[in-house]
Structure 1
Amino acid sequence: MNASDNQQEQDGVEPNVGPIPEAAPEFHPYHHPAAGWGAAKSVTRFLLRERELVDGPRAIMKMNHEKSGFDCPGCAWPDDTKGLKLDICENGIKHVTWEMTRKRVDRTFFAEHSVSELSKWSDFALEDQGRLTEPMRYDPESDHYVPISWKDAFATVGRALRELDDPNQAAFYTSGRLGNEATFLYQLMARELGTNNLPDCSNMCHEASGRALQASLGTGKGTVDLKDWDATDALFIMGVNVASNAPRMLTALAEAYHRGAQIVHINPLVEAAATRTIIPHDIADMALFRATRTSTLNLQVRIGGDMALMRGISKAVLEQSGTDPKALDPEFIDRHTSGFEEYRDLCEATPWEEIELQSGLSRDDILKAAHVYRDADRSIVSWCLGVTQHEHGVDTVREIVNLLLLRGNLGREGAGPSPVRGHSNVQGNRTCGIDHRPSPEFLDRLAEVCKIDPPRAHGLDTIGTIQAMNRGDVKVFVGMGGNFALAAPDTPYTYEALRTCDLTVQVSTKLNRSHLVHGRQALILPCLGRTEKDHQRAGVQSTSVEDSMSMVHLSVGMKRPASSQLLSEPAIVAGMARAALPDSATPWQWYVEDYDRIRDTMAQALDGFEDFNRRVRLPLGFRIKQPARELVFDTPSSRAEFSSAPLPDVVPAPGTLALGTMRSHDQWNTTIYSDNDRYRGIKNLRTLVFMNAADMRERGIDEFDPVDITSTAKDGSTRHLNGYLAIPYDIPRGCAAGYMPEMNVLCALVDYSTQSDQPIMKHVKVTITRAT
């Protein structure tokens, strides 16, 4: 049992850690290139452990291929546009192999293990049991899951939804791995029922990006594609651990360095991907152990200090414009923007001392970044959750756009904003209708095409759904993929919320914590994975996904399904819809017989999906049109909007630290493959906290000392983790970091951004003391 479990159990939270270590914890700072032979060895060990030395390599040869291939269910980094044969990464291979396991969780397994027993298992142990094989329902008398037919399972869902006093007593959650066709049917079902309660994982990750880009540019997405990455002169990579979270980006970084582009990494931690890499598909580099640099400048901004850094670069550029007429693009600013004068005045009025204090960087370091930006003809700024999961996440993304607008870095090759989506189809989910705040225009078109009367009031997001479940206002929760119980903040509160429901439904491929933290009634509905063939009446079906750069392409599974009883996600949605809406005129079953029919309807209902079935079968698919890329802005002024927000105070109070939660390398979202974190030098340990060595000395803490961590929420309430081990790390003073989902217990539900409604999971106020 890990040191943290005692406190978690006192708080009513089951242990939620990875595999129990077989050896003592180790920490050895990592000094090697990212990817390369380390990744190859890691993949080989993983394939051996999972006994997938035949099907694993076969799948790898199909993954992310344009013809007859399936899309990696991991990150949303775009597929290579130049015909790369091995467009793969270590974590993608692990993710696919984890799905393709030969292990099975069937009725015999559930008969042998009660829910109470399984609740004591680690999350690694739960998922490691293998693929779910048939629908199951929770039997409260025996405390076991027992088999249920698909017909009866759908009837259970339908009855629960029909008996609600108000359709808003149901919430329909979506994970980012759901394909576009199932996404469209899922939101259609919810809206035909009469609710916009459509929380999704984007509510916890990139909601700030969408709202900021919408306000600044009139689009909720980035404007660049891979061709722009190939053409840019400067890349600014903010708040992302590339080697673990978007590993295929390493190829783009290496190529950028080779052609002379400047690469600036901005992160409290200098991650392995911000130093050097050996790209595994580059045979010569692998054979010669020849690494390529992936950065020309690393800036260790304090947690939450990214906005101050962007303001500092803008201030420097504006100061240079007094003597250098090329520092700004006045023609672009005059023709295409609004609010420039106010922003210039704000930058001039912001003292350098305040920028240095809030960013945690010296003026000299900020000027280095400013010179890179000023000297580049074309610049891209790319960011992930290190920027968004803060109170001021929206303002920070808008500050990024401000900087880009100063030099006209928009609407031309090699320039623009480029958010990094962390899950395979989270952007496609939003595009295809998963939005608790749908626009009137979207609802009008949906009503016209699908002949329904969708509700107009905004629905509940993730935070709102958890709060409503706890109040008893949401009685039915449907989770379409993911592991909601662990992904959400404030773990004990989220558990309590789920257990308050009358019915929880989880559509899943593998056993996870959300099946054990359930309502009075509970269903597990097993679905096909993306690697598996989807046979329907019209033949083998394909599904589409949208990547981080708005490219939409098809994915076709290549493997026999893990069980004959698995249904596809569209089929499961249609089954629930038919049971809940017996008088519906929507041809649910007709849609499932041939997904082309779903796509034909989507072509009529969704802007940018015109001629969907033909275009998605083009080489590389198609890119959804981006008006802002063409300098057409759907904003009140019909221009790109500068923002003028004040700098937030992100400096921790004396005695406190700002803690950010993050993944380890051997982890994908809430799925934990091992207790190792190779790129940070960790073995056999997850219950840890990374700290600055000076902060440790100040508190009398030595390496591997057990510590107690206490977070304090906005409302004054506190949360605790005891017995975590302290690791000295190269991180700014006043900052600390540790792994989710274990540390989600520290993230209070009341601590969400007033700008984006996102949980503030990258800026938790904590005190850390040596355990007594």
Structure 2
Amino acid sequence: MTKKIKPYQGPAGGWGALSSTTRFVFGSKQPAANIRNLLRANQVKGFDCPGCAWGDEQGKHFSFCENGAKAISWEATTKRVTPAFFQQHSLSQLQRQSDYFLEYQGRIEQPMYLNRETDHYQPISWDDAFALIGRHLQALDHPDQLELYTSGRASNEAAYLYQLFGRSFGTNNFPDCSNLCHEASGVALTQAIGVGKGTVTLHDFEQADAIFVFGQNPGTNHPRMLHSLRNAARNGTAIVSFNNLKERGLERFADPQSPLEMLTPKDSRISSHYFCPRLGGDMAVVRGMVKQLLAWDTAALAEGGVGLFDRDFIATHTQGLEDYLNQVQATSWTQITEQSGLSQEQISQAARVYADASKVIVTWAMGITQHKHSVATIREITNLQLLCGQLGKPGAGLCPVRGHSNVQGNRTVGINERPSAAFLDQMEQHFKHPMPRQPGHNAVAAIQALLDGNAKVFIALGGNIAAAAPDTLATARALANCELTVQISTKLNRSHIMAGKQALILPCLGRTEQDMQAGVSQFITVEDSFSMVHASEGVGKPNSPQQRSETAIVAGIAHATLGSQPVDWLALSQDYNLIRDHIAATLPGFERFNERLMQPGGFYLGNSAARYQWQTPNGKANFGAAPLPESLIPQAITAKAQGLLSTLQTLRSHDQYNTTIYGMDDRYRGVYGQRMVLFMHPDEIKRRGLQEGDWVELSTVWLDDVERKVGGFKVVAYDIPPGDVAAYYPETNPLVPLHSVGDGSDTPTSKSIPVLIRKQQAARII
């Protein structure tokens, strides 16, 4: 493996994406199966890609991207983690291996139980595994000693059954991967417009005059979005991007499925304007845009014009405008420019694009949601759209771009530690069974409960919490403190080796594989970022006859714990139509669920805010009037630092999806054969007395006395604001304090970690 830094000059996509896809398709040693799978990805009578949650473009023969192809091929590998593998490798040995090594071993073949006496996992039957879980759960002192974690990979059917099991058992403890990423979007949008989802559809991108993109890197994290942005740009839509790093996917894109763009030097320019604010400075950017728009609006009215703001919309549909505008006027340009890192002229350029557009979409991702003031930032974005009535009309609206393929659907069907009273009332009425009313644990609260001994059993429906969660050492202690950990997984990962006192690994089917129940092929459903619900049916042969569907595994656990109360769990696991009938009876928007799935492409759940139905306590869309943060790094931390602080953001490489590492290259950022790199501005490198290629260690400055430190990072010069630095996760997750979370969201602040950087001798690197 050659380690090098070589700046990437080409567009996103193009031959690089095509060659990378080809390597993965053929590298799994099942090229025919992989090609078949790719042709069925995101198609009617096919399966939903297990990658991102971007919407499907109907009618396309090839509806997958480079990273989707990686995910599909990664799942279809012929490699297997067998009992012989676990006999060869002890738990202690596996704990010393990298995440890349663990996942690269292949699919888990059969259920495994950790024998602490031998320090090895050993085979266990499904019946014995379920019985062990049932005994542990029945022995708990209180239902809230159970934590039920979920990944966005789970289907609507599995997730609905999972939450029904948990609530029937008596707990609302549903820590979820969304708690770690997009929770701020749901909180802010619910406060502002009454629904925690985006208001746009995929077709709105075809009609927008301007699209404002905040805090995301679609070229790596959701490449199919680039098709929508490219088509919009070609139609004359202005695309204004705000991102702390210059990302190639927001600059130029060559469609690997376009012969013209592949056979000629032609590619598509994506962003008409590209700005790089400071980490956490996006709220100040939007505040500045509103301040400029307000000045233009005031001037237009003074000259007898109509102004820029949609006063009819504001008067009819909103509340809180006066308090908000007072806050805008009280915010100085000095504070705005210092906090944003952009000049007043740059912010005014963005405001001019906004003012000149009649239909505007604002879209954002985790670059916005993983800060202390993320909820306030998304409220500020929503304020901007409310001022100009940019909701509920074609080509306009709010668009949080979710990560995992069904993270939004999981929340819709009940994976929520704070369910509404209306939802619980409907569940009780339908199932004739009491449902717990006390709020449960989110991801951070669950980890703390495990650390404190207040929770004793941890069950994970997918995911890899040991690698995904903040404060890695604390998370590992939390899992080790469990009486029982249960991981429902396709592949080996870090969470399997950060195990409890007793531990199970239960192998499940992947999204691409055929799910046979009682001799009948089943399909599941997912919901994308645009509230489209559609069917997904695997086509491949399962990797092992011992693997079971997530739905069947959840049903087996529930049956072993609760018997046939309040439903016949095993009967539901044999016919997913029955689960969907229960969903239709208990969740608004899912009426005639099974029938409507027969429509090609599925059906639209709808969005109340897009219909101007504000499900807020006052029945209006609400402006938020939060001030800008006093500072992006609290003064108490600055005082404690006793050194030159930087703000670190954690991010993915291009050969990575969430915590799954496909390879060691980050093509668009010019990093090859390595992951232990720290991106810094060239001026910042000099200011610190460093040189590109130097080795450094990073330590967190936080208000407790816990030492959080990682080392062995190579300095790489990059186009990033001075004072901000970036590195990959999960390698830098140990630096994120468990209780450094967003106000109102409890989302870890993985995009704003105050760190000290010290030069490190190469000989000391581990």
SS in structure 2 of the partner of residue 514 of structure 1 = helix
Q: How far did 1:723 drift?
A: 2.3
Counterpart amino acid of residue 56 in structure 1 = N
Q: 1 CA distance for matches of 2:736 and 2:632?
A: 18
Q: Which residue of 1 aligns with 2:164?
A: 188
CA distance in 1, matches of 2:617, 2:573: 41
Which residue pairs with 1:64 in the alignment? Answer: 42
> Is 1:103 equivalent to 2:103 in the alignment?
no
The Cα of 1:334 is off from its aligned counterpart by: 0.8
CA separation of 1:741 and 1:218: change in aligned 2, threshold 3 A: same
Letter in 2 for 1:230: E
Return the letter of the residue paired with 2:47: F
Q: Distance in 2 between matches of 1:714 and 1:363?
A: 34
SS of residue in 2 equivalent to 1:403: helix
Determine if the alignment matches structure 1 residue 135 to structure 2 residue 135. Answer: no
Q: Report how many aligned residue pairs link the two structures.
A: 748
**Which piece of structure 1 moves more, 39-48 or 680-689?**
39-48
Instruction: Note the 1:557-596 alignment, pairs <5 A.
Output: 557-582=538-563, 584-596=565-577
Corresponding position of 1:515: 496
CA distance in 1, matches of 2:630, 2:512: 46
- Of residues 88, 92, 99, the one that matches 2:68 is 92
Alignment of 1:146-161 (within 5 A): 146-161=122-137
Matches within 5 A, 1:619-698: 619-652=600-633, 653=638, 655-698=644-687
**In the aligned structure 1, how far is the partner of 2:743 from the partner of 2:623?**
20
Matches within 5 A, 1:371-770: 371-537=352-518, 539-582=520-563, 584-652=565-633, 653=638, 655-770=644-759
Shift of 1:269: 0.5
Percent identical:
48
Cα deviation for residue 651 of structure 1 reads: 4.5
How far off its partner does 1:189 sit? 0.3
Q: Partners in 1 of 2:337 and 2:389 — Cα distance?
A: 26
SS of the counterpart of 2:690?
A: coil
Provide the C-alpha distance between the structure 1 equivalents of 2:200 and 2:103, rounded to a whole number of angstroms: 36
User: Which whole-Å deviations, capped at 9, do the CAs of 1:484-533 have from their partners, x for residues lacking one?
Assistant: 10000000000000000000000000111111110010000001101000
- Specify every segment of 5 or more residues in structure 2 that has no aligned partner in the other structure, as ranges: 301-305, 762-766
State the Cα deviation string for residues 61-116 of structure 1 (Å, max 9, x = none): 110112x21000010000013x1111110000000100000011111111121111
Moved more, 490-499 or 278-287: 278-287
Q: Which residue of 2 aligns with 1:49?
A: 27
Contact preservation (8 Å) 1:714, 1:750: no
- Aligned to 2:10, the other structure's residue is in SS state coil
Distance in 1 (alpha carbons) for counterparts of 2:538 and 2:439? 36
Using the TM superposition, name which of 583-592 and 126-135 deviates more: 583-592
- Secondary structure of 2:529's counterpart equals coil
1:73 aligns with 2:50: yes
2:5 to 27, 37, 50: 27
AA partner of residue 75 (structure 1): C
Deviates more, 1:361-370 or 1:717-726: 717-726
Query: How far apart are residue 45 of structure 1 and its match?
Result: 2.1
Any idea what the Cα deviations from partners look like across 1:168-198, whole Å, max 9, x if unmatched?
0010000000000000000000000000000
Structure 1 range deviating more: 283-292 or 632-641: 283-292
The TM-score with structure 1 as length reference comes to 0.96
Distance 2:319 2:127 in 1: 57
Q: SS of 1:647's equivalent?
A: coil
Q: Which SS does the other structure have where 1:758 is aligned?
A: coil
**Structure 1 residues 516 and 591 mapped into 2: Cα distance closer, same or farther (>3 Å)?**
same
Report SS of the residue matched to 2:708.
strand
**How far apart, in 2, do the equivalents of 1:719 and 1:510 lie?**
29
Aligned counterpart, 2:254 = 278
The structure-2 alpha-carbon separation of the partners of 1:491 and 1:605, relative to structure 1 and needing over 3 Å to count, comes to same
- 1:372 & 1:770 partners in 2: Cα distance? 44
Cα distance, 1:724 vs structure 2: 1.0
2:339 matched to 1:358? yes
How far residue 36 of structure 1 moved from its aligned partner, in angstroms, is 1.1
Change (3 A) 1:289 1:50: farther
3-state SS, counterpart of residue 285 of structure 1: helix
Structure 1 counterpart of 2:26, which letter?
L
The answer to whether the Cα contact below 8 Å between 1:236 and 1:381 also exists between their aligned partners in 2 is yes
The residue type equivalent to 1:734 in the other structure is: G
Rounded Cα–Cα distance in structure 1 between residues aligned with 2:541 and 2:250: 39
Q: Is the 8 A contact 1:704 1:727 kept in 2?
A: yes
Deviation of the 1:636 alpha carbon: 2.1
Q: Deviations over 1:253-279 (max 9, x none)?
A: 110111100001100101011111111
Structure 2: how far apart are the matches of 1:592 and 1:683? Answer: 45
> Does the 8 Å contact 1:538/1:594 carry over to 2?
no
Contact 2:28 2:76 (C-alpha < 8 Å) held by counterparts:
no
Aligned to 1:235: 211
Contact 2:14 2:256 in 1 (8 A): yes
Measured in 1, the distance between the counterparts of 2:287 and 2:390 equals 16
Post-superposition CA distance 1:215-244 (Å, at most 9, x none): 000001010011111110100111111101
SS in 1 for 2:212: strand
Q: CA deviation at 1:538?
A: 5.8
Corresponding residue for 1:9?
none
The residue number in structure 2 matching 1:258 is 234
C-alpha separation in 2, matches of 1:538 and 1:45: 36
3-state SS of 1:127 partner: helix
Deviation of 1:650 (Å)? 4.2
Alignment correspondent of 1:338: 319
Matched ranges for 1:171-182 at <5 A: 171-182=147-158
**2:764 maps to what in 1?**
none
Determine the structure 2 residue equivalent to 1:121. 97
Deviations 1:547-594 (A, max 9, x none): 011000000000010011111111100000011112513111111111
Partner of 2:138: 162
Q: For residue 50 of structure 2, what is the amino acid of its counterpart?
A: P
> What's the secondary structure of 1:742's corresponding residue?
coil
In the alignment, the residues of structure 1 paired with residue 363 and residue 130 of structure 2 have an alpha-carbon distance, to the nearest angstrom, of 43
Q: Which SS does the other structure have where 2:714 is aligned? A: strand
CA distance in 1, matches of 2:51, 2:703: 34
> Following the alignment from structure 1 to structure 2, what is the Cα–Cα distance between the partners of residues 737 and 498?
28
User: Structure 2 CA distance, aligned partners of 1:717 and 1:473?
Assistant: 22
1:391, 1:289 → 2: CA distance? Answer: 43
Which residue identity is paired with 2:596?
R
Tell me the CA shift for residue 52 of structure 1. Answer: 3.0
SS at 1:322 equivalent: helix
2:389 and 2:671 mapped to 1: Cα distance?
Answer: 43
* Cα distance in 2, alignment partners of residues 609 and 181 from structure 1: 13
- SS of the equivalent of 1:309 reads helix
> Which of 286, 291, 301 lines up with 1:315 in the alignment?
291
Q: Is the CA contact 1:357–1:651 (under 8 Å) kept in the aligned structure 2?
A: no
> SS at 2:382's partner residue?
helix
When the two chains are superposed, the root-mean-square deviation of aligned CA atoms in Å is 1.1
Distance in 2 (CA, whole Å) between partners of 1:285 and 1:32 is 12
